[in-house]
């Protein structure tokens, strides 16, 4: 039995901090909250001398840290956990597998709205009396603080019209004139609606009649009452009064003043209250039984369910237009009816637009949507909606893999081959497809991978029996695959039939489609107007000041832009090197194609869809909706137009610059070119009554890969590529880890990379450690790069032990005093 006088046990909490630190940090739990803290809840803590940040509790215990004095938790933010136990397990796995800090995982996983921010502020020291010691600028700051009690750094910068005020603040602190402190702010703000309703004294018909009579002399107040009753007829049903009326209803009426409404509230006739509402449009629950499958789709769904009895992962290989989405819907319905949750991953935000409309019609408000175009507040509402049980089914892009599910029955990864599932910067450099498989296993759920052009790794796992394999080889509704025509642009140029970037054949088909009111998609996987500008006299080329890459010309913005670091320059009127006015654009991107179409076909309605035209929140949605309803004749785009979009009226797809994709210097080039060309081709002729045609402009029509694209011969491409991969020990026969060394000085970066490569090769062997060598772009953001590629055979080497060794040698190199300031990035399963 515990003694009445026995001291309470002091609790400690191991916290995940959303910063790149190598371990958890232990903090002391204040006694007043010791009975309230829970694993997965957020707390506010001080990290460093002044910084205040949000952390998540990973473990609660009674053991104080041995190496340092534990600081106190400043504040508990959540009564209930905001992060689930399974999420914490996943965060740990991701950090260990991808060789990063668990804090980096938390930073990517948590929406910004759930991270408390702090702002440095300045207040007057009440004991300060020596104002004659201040400089003029310091005196200005002190006088301003007296007016407002406190100032932020930004307010002082604006006051003094200076961008750097550190020395002034430091001097004021040194003279003990001011005190610095951190003001904590929560980013997430629930959406609030102000409403009014009649107080209980006026709900009877008698009371209402008397009230109306008493207001006859005040027309404005009587108008308010009558307007309220027109919306909420409480004389028929007093219960209607409970929900009240939005206060904004009275805002647009000139006959009603805010003061009159406030007077009625002060008199106790109306009362004001607030409600929290969702930021998402309310859509009624759909009828999940209404989807009917074709015989092919029914058989595919049956096979998937059979495989799920014995396999954790199934690959659905369905050709473009085969109706995979309907199969997904049937499986989602079954899982939701069993009481489990579903996550549907898509590689691009653009893809969510069409598919969300279809899914919402079936699943209604049990479905949430999660992607980066949403505001911080919207993402927090989805997060909390999952925790509260509102959203049982979520459609999202890569980052949705970190949402707080607790009973996940199925994860669908659509277009599983897409490189967009891989995060490159910042850490964790995870692949959402691969994390989905692990996450599903943690939930005892299943994973369905879907694609018309599966990654070689996934198809290999399916053929070897690790995954189940289900195939759909017919298009939905008996639609035929598109026909192809290869256009020899060398021949066209020789015969002078080309018009800038357009072959005569492509122009003829554009004319035909415009005449017959059919739609066209034109694909060029390069944005901007042209890749660079060049002087005809001295061969000067527009290059980025920070990166070893040319500056892309953007005509609409009238600027040269680096697609690596964002550096911008004005377009030169004359050559910066020799002064010649003969500076011209070289090559072409989507913007130039759009411009040339507008010149050739001024009557055509043309729209471009690339990163430059889709920066705004609803830009994707607007473009896709316009194209869907026939408001656009010709859609020009980058790879955004190649992924899963479904349009009835597209009969022609034109592909520019196919050779550049095929001959890219990378071992996955053939696979990716086949995937890209097949996917974009699949946008044509998706209905039986409207055959499609694909026109590919190429300088080498005899290429084997193009023949395989035309024949839709995925298996042929796979057999050819898998033999090459096995011969040279590339995935799926090995795992790749890329280690990149960065430094502002090229020789230092090179030396550090060589030192690290020698350390790695000493244990792993020279045959497994390739490099160091500079990548295609050798300098980015003023840092020189050197890559070391490590190939680890799947059957011969312990991957976990090898990763630990690599991490150890990277740390050794980073702590080498002769190699100061180097940066090292580890990319596990690099693409």
* Structure confidence at residue 485 (pLDDT): 95
Q: CA-CA distance, 740 to 719, in Å (whole number)?
A: 32
Residue 432's φ and ψ, nearest 5 degrees, are -60, -30
Q: Is 730 helix (H, G, I), strand (E, B) or coil?
A: coil
Tokens standing for 69?
């004095």
Return the H-helix or E-strand segment holding 260.
helix 258-266
Q: What are the pLDDT digits (tens) for 214-243?
A: 887 788 888 888 888 888 888 777 887 888
Q: Is 154 helix (H, G, I), strand (E, B) or coil?
A: helix
Return the H-helix or E-strand segment holding 357.
helix 349-363
* Structure confidence at residue 253 (pLDDT): 53
Q: What are the pLDDT digits (tens) for 253-267?
A: 555 677 788 888 888
Distance (Å) of CA 764 to CA 757, 769, 790, 798? 10, 7, 9, 11
- Same domain assignment for residues 399 and 439: yes
Is residue 279 in some structural domain?
no
Is residue 191 in some structural domain?
no
For the chain, state the CA radius of gyration.
32
Percent of the chain with pLDDT over 70: 94
User: CATH no. for residue 40?
Assistant: 3.40.1440.60
- Same domain assignment for residues 706 and 639: yes
User: CATH no. for residue 689?
Assistant: 3.40.50.300
- Spatial neighbors of 331 by CB under 8 A, at least 6 apart, are 301, 304, 305, 410, 412, 448
Residue showing tokens 């603080």 = 145
The mean predicted confidence, pLDDT, of the chain is 89
Q: How confident is the model at residue 5 (pLDDT cuts 50, 70, 90)?
A: very low
Is residue 2 in some structural domain?
no
- Same domain assignment for residues 312 and 371: yes
CB atoms within 10 A of CB 691: 14
Q: CA-CA distance, 173 to 163, in Å (whole number)?
A: 19
* Structure confidence at residue 1 (pLDDT): 39
- Are the C-beta atoms of residues 221 and 264 closer than 8 Å to each other? yes
Q: CA-CA distance, 446 to 310, in Å (whole number)?
A: 10
Q: CA-CA distance, 316 to 308, in Å (whole number)?
A: 12
Percent of the chain with pLDDT over 90: 58
Ranges 13-22, 107-116, 159-168, 305-314: which has the least confidence:
159-168
118 pLDDT more than 70 = no
- Same domain assignment for residues 263 and 334: no
- Spatial neighbors of 59 by CB under 8 A, at least 6 apart, are 13, 14, 24, 39
* Structure confidence at residue 84 (pLDDT): 96
Q: What are the pLDDT digits (tens) for 9-40?
A: 899 999 999 888 888 999 999 999 999 999 99
Q: First vs last Cα of the chain: how many Å apart?
A: 61
Q: What are the pLDDT digits (tens) for 496-532?
A: 999 999 999 999 999 999 999 999 999 998 989 999 9
CB atoms within 10 A of CB 555: 16
Q: How confident is the model at residue 288 (pLDDT cuts 50, 70, 90)?
A: low
- Same domain assignment for residues 516 and 653: yes
Q: How confident is the model at residue 2 (pLDDT cuts 50, 70, 90)?
A: very low
- Same domain assignment for residues 347 and 468: yes
Ranges 58-62, 640-644, 719-723: which has the least confidence:
640-644
Is residue 3 in some structural domain?
no
Count of positions (residues) in the chain: 831
- 3-state DSSP helix/strand/coil % of the chain, to nearest 5: 35, 25, 40
Q: How confident is the model at residue 831 (pLDDT cuts 50, 70, 90)?
A: confident
Considering 159, 185, 211, which residue would you say is the last residue of a domain?
185
CB atoms within 10 A of CB 424: 11
Q: Is 609 helix (H, G, I), strand (E, B) or coil?
A: strand
Residue 610's φ and ψ, nearest 5 degrees, are -150, -175
Q: What are the pLDDT digits (tens) for 534-583?
A: 999 999 999 999 999 999 999 988 999 999 999 999 999 999 999 999 99
Q: CA-CA distance, 678 to 749, in Å (whole number)?
A: 40
Q: How confident is the model at residue 206 (pLDDT cuts 50, 70, 90)?
A: confident
Is residue 194 in some structural domain?
no
Considering 663, 690, 723, which residue would you say is the last residue of a domain?
723
- Same domain assignment for residues 609 and 579: no
Which residues does residue 441 pair with via DSSP β-bridges, in sequence order?
none
* Structure confidence at residue 208 (pLDDT): 85
3 pLDDT more than 50 = no
- Same domain assignment for residues 628 and 491: yes
* Structure confidence at residue 8 (pLDDT): 67
Q: How confident is the model at residue 136 (pLDDT cuts 50, 70, 90)?
A: confident
130 pLDDT more than 80 = no
- Same domain assignment for residues 599 and 577: no
- Same domain assignment for residues 171 and 95: no
648 pLDDT more than 70 = yes
* Structure confidence at residue 168 (pLDDT): 85
Q: How confident is the model at residue 278 (pLDDT cuts 50, 70, 90)?
A: low
Q: CA-CA distance, 784 to 790, in Å (whole number)?
A: 20
Residue 424's φ and ψ, nearest 5 degrees, are -100, -45
Parent domain of 818: 734-828
Q: How confident is the model at residue 682 (pLDDT cuts 50, 70, 90)?
A: confident
Q: What are the pLDDT digits (tens) for 593-646?
A: 999 999 999 999 999 998 888 887 778 888 888 988 899 999 999 988 877 677
Considering 477, 492, 511, which residue would you say is the last residue of a domain?
477
Which residues does residue 138 pair with via DSSP β-bridges, in sequence order?
none
Is residue 142 in some structural domain?
yes
Is residue 667 in some structural domain?
yes
Q: CA-CA distance, 722 to 460, in Å (whole number)?
A: 8
Is residue 290 in some structural domain?
no
User: CATH no. for residue 787?
Assistant: 3.30.70.600
Q: What is the DSSP string of 38-55?
A: -TT-EEEEE-SSS-EEEE
284 pLDDT more than 90 = no
Domain count, the chain: 7
User: CATH no. for residue 144?
Assistant: 1.10.10
- Same domain assignment for residues 522 and 537: no
Tokens standing for 117?
């921010």
Residue 42's φ and ψ, nearest 5 degrees, are -90, 145
- Same domain assignment for residues 717 and 741: no
């Amino acid at each position: 039995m515990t003694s009445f006088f026995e001291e309470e046990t002091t609790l400690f909490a191991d916290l995940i901090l959303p910063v790149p630190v190598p371990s958890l940090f232990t903090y002391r739990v204040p006694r007043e909250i010791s009975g309230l803290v829970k694993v997965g809840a957020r707390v506010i803590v001080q990290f460093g001398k002044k910084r205040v940040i949000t952390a998540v509790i990973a473990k609660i215990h009674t053991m104080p840290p041995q190496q340092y004095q534990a600081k106190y938790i400043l504040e508990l933010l959540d009564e209930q956990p905001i992060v689930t136990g399974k999420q914490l397990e996943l965060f740990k796995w991701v950090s260990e597998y991808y060789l990063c800090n668990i804090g980096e995982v938390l930073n990517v996983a948590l929406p910004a709205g759930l991270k408390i921010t702090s702002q440095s502020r300045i207040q007057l020291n009440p004991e300060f009396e020596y104002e004659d010691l201040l400089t003029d600028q310091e005196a200005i700051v002190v006088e301003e603080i007296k007016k407002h009690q406190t100032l932020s750094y930004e307010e002082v910068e604006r006051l003094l019209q200076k961008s750097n005020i550190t020395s002034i603040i430091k001097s004021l602190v040194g003279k003990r004139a001011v005190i610095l402190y951190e003001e904590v702010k929560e980013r997430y703000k629930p959406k609030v609606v102000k409403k009014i309703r009649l107080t209980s004294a006026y709900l009877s018909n008698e009371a209402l009649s008397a009230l109306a009579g008493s207001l006859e002399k005040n027309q404005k107040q009587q108008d308010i009452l009558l307007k309220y009753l027109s919306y909420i007829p409480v004389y028929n049903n007093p219960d209607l009064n409970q929900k009240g009326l939005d206060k904004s209803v009275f805002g647009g009426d000139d006959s009603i003043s805010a003061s009159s409404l406030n007077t009625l509230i002060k008199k106790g006739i109306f009362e004001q209250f607030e409600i929290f509402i969702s930021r998402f449009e309310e859509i009624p629950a759909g009828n999940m039984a209404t989807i009917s499958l074709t015989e092919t789709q029914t058989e595919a769904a049956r096979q998937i369910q059979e495989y799920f009895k014995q396999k954790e992962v199934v690959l659905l290989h369905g050709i473009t237009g085969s109706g995979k989405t309907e199969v997904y819907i049937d499986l989602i319905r079954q899982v939701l009816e069993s009481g489990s949750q579903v996550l549907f991953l898509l590689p691009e935000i653009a893809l969510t637009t069409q598919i969300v409309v279809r899914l919402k019609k079936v699943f209604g408000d049990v479905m949430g949507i999660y992607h980066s175009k949403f505001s911080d507040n919207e993402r927090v509402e989805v997060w909390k909606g999952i925790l509260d049980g509102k959203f049982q089914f979520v459609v999202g892009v890569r980052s949705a893999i970190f949402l707080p599910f607790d009973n996940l029955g199925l994860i669908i990864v659509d277009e599983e081959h897409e490189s967009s599932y891989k995060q490159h910067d910042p850490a964790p450099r995870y692949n959402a497809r691969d994390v989905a498989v692990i996450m599903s296993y943690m939930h005892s759920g299943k994973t369905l991978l879907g694609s018309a052009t599966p990654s070689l790794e996934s198809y290999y796992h399916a053929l070897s029996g690790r995954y189940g394999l289900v195939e759909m080889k017919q298009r939905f509704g008996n639609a035929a695959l598109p026909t192809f025509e290869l256009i020899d642009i060398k021949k066209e140029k020789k015969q002078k039939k080309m018009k800038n970037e357009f072959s005569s054949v492509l122009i003829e088909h554009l004319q035909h489609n415009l005449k017959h009111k059919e739609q066209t998609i034109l694909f060029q996987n390069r944005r901007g107007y042209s890749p660079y500008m060049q002087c005809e006299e001295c061969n000067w080329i527009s290059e980025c000041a920070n990166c070893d890459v040319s500056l892309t010309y953007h005509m609409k913005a009238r600027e040269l832009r680096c697609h690596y670091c964002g550096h911008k320059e004005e377009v030169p009127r004359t050559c910066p090197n020799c002064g010649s006015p003969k500076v011209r654009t070289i090559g072409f991107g989507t913007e130039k194609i759009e411009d040339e179409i507008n010149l050739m076909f001024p009557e055509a309605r043309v729209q471009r869809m690339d990163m430059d035209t889709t920066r705004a929140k609803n830009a994707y949605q607007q473009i896709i909706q316009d194209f869907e309803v026939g408001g656009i004749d010709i859609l020009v785009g980058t790879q955004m137009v190649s992924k899963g979009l479904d349009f009835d009226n597209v009969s022609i797809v034109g592909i520019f610059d196919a050779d550049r994709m095929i001959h890219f210097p990378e071992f996955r080039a053939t696979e990716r070119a086949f995937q890209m060309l097949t996917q974009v081709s699949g946008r044509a002729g998706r209905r039986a009554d409207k055959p499609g045609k694909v026109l590919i402009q190429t300088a080498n029509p005899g290429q084997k890969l193009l023949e395989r694209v035309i024949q839709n011969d995925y298996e042929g491409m796979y057999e050819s590529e898998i033999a090459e991969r096995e011969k040279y020990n590339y995935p799926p026969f090995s795992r790749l880890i890329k280690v990149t060394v960065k430094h502002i000085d090229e020789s230092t970066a090179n030396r550090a990379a060589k030192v690290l490569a020698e350390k790695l090769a000493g244990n792993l062997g020279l045959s497994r450690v390739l490099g160091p060598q500079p990548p295609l772009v050798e300098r980015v953001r003023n840092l020189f790069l050197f890559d070391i590629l490590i190939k680890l055979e799947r059957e011969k080497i312990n991957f976990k032990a090898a990763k630990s060794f690599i991490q150890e040698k990277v740390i050794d190199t980073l702590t080498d005093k002769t190699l100061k300031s180097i940066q090292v990035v580890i990319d596990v399963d690099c693409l």
